[in-house]
Structure 1
Amino acid sequence: MSERISVAKTYKLYVGGKFPRSESGRVYPVNDARGKFLANASLASRKDARDAVGAARSAFAKWSGATAYNRGQVLYRVAEMLEGRREQFIAEVATAEGIAAKKAETLVDAAVDRWVWYAGWTDKLATVLGSANPVAGPYFSFTTPEPTGVVAVFAPQASSLLGLVSVVAPVIAAGNTCVVVTSEDRPLPAITLSEVLATSDLPGGVVNLLTGKAAELSPWLAEHADVNAIDPTGVPLEARADLERSAAGTVKRVLRAPAKEPDWTATPDISRLRGFLEHKTVWHPTGV
């Protein structure tokens, strides 16, 4: 009997809670750290990015209008499901990043813990970042944080899971929705994460994952009028200035990303939560 030829997988995009093929029909090969072929991934196009932005905008009102406690419960459920597929993530991270299983195990556990950490912050943001302002007059003045809107997130290129979780979780914990461009060379852990999100309590459209080339998709997302903010972490340093200039045309908020790849294993702070929050101040007369 001749040797059996395995059937290569061709993974799809994750947009609006569904798994569509790229409208262009394009795919590209995904290899492991040693160059061995693993699967095909969809090569997202401008039209796919536009569809993802539309899905994120449609989901924004419901997600931002949910109680902070409810958002925390949903994020915690994602962490539970990540834990349930722990062994699969360990194998995929080890293969994608070319590291030992023990180190991959540490990174996957850190990714689960990071989801839990941000889940715990959802109902504390208003207390920590809001304020009752002193005023000289018969008024109350309150400042409260509110989500920015639709955020385009360019995931880290080297950290296939922990870095991805570290940039996506704070965006949605703050009540935003997002369009995420995954690592081009290491997209498989992100694709598995999309399967987790699709079967969790997270509403469709809150997170939309596009595989493909950040250099190809970034100009369209930067110029899109329905994108309110950008996290350029995964964009090469030399391309960020052009990205910021394009984003300025529609007055987008652009997170100031570090020049070097951050240490994703370090304890996080709330700077990424602050990055995509606006502050609304309300005045109200006393005695009314």
Structure 2
Amino acid sequence: MGFIRELYKHRFIYSLAIPGLLILGIFSYLPLAGHLLAFKKFELAEGIWGSPWAGFENFRFFFGNPDWMQITWNTVYLNSLFLIAEIGIATVLALFLNEVRHAIFKRLLQSFVFLPYFISWLVVSLMIFGMLSNTDGIVNHMLARFGMQEVDWYQTPWVWPIILTFVRAWKNAGYLSIILLAAITGISGEYYESAKIDGATRLQQITKITLPLLRPTIIVLTLLGIGRIFYGDFGMIYAIIQDNGVLLSATDVIDTYSYRALRQLGDFSMSSAIILYQSLMGLVTILVFNTIVRKIDKDSRLF
């Protein structure tokens, strides 16, 4: 009853949340019914409800294929590299931007580091091809000029986790640095004034004040990233790697694998089973890490 009274008392304030809740329900929760396909043998003519039940047959087929371990490892491994690189570089960028005192120069730098975030992955893929192409690539031209052996980048799988990590950090670290910079500007200046009186250097102020007070924001961003650790960046990987079979051993993730299963086999049920497995693993991961954070620092947990 207390909840009902609270809801009625502040009904006009809570009503402001109705559009957002409707969008969340329509685009986030209503589509969950589509996971039903994972347990059916989908036939287009019969529709979702008319298609016969398959039980766990789609999952048995997927887990019976040894590829599932490779794509799961690739997804977690690549996303772990992306998360560490993005947050690490974003933190350094935010600290450097905070040290810039000239207002106009600071705004220019913020715009400069934020700009890559708005470049589409298709454009980025063309940029990378222009740099790493075997024939006219800038990198191979530079290697040849210095007397070094040229590298066939698109036939060398082991280098691509490094390349993709660098590209992902270049594109997204600027966006995250703006979030961290906003958190830094929210720190009270009294802390720094007290530290100056005690004779603390600027580096000591960063390590003893800024970074500790920035920790909750970093933890939240990390948890949000961990929540999507089983979701490969399909737009990035497919735009850059496409269907290069040589590189699949190092770059094929759950999203690209399920897309190929749908495109090549036309099996909606199999793709749905893969995506449901992906969603459940992501849910388990965020619950586990949120529990760990709750035991370490309750104020930094998501829920």
Q: Give the TM-score, by structure 2 length.
A: 0.28
Greater gyration radius? 2
Give the structure with the higher percent strand. 1
TM-score for the superposition, normalised by structure 1: 0.29
Higher helix share: 2
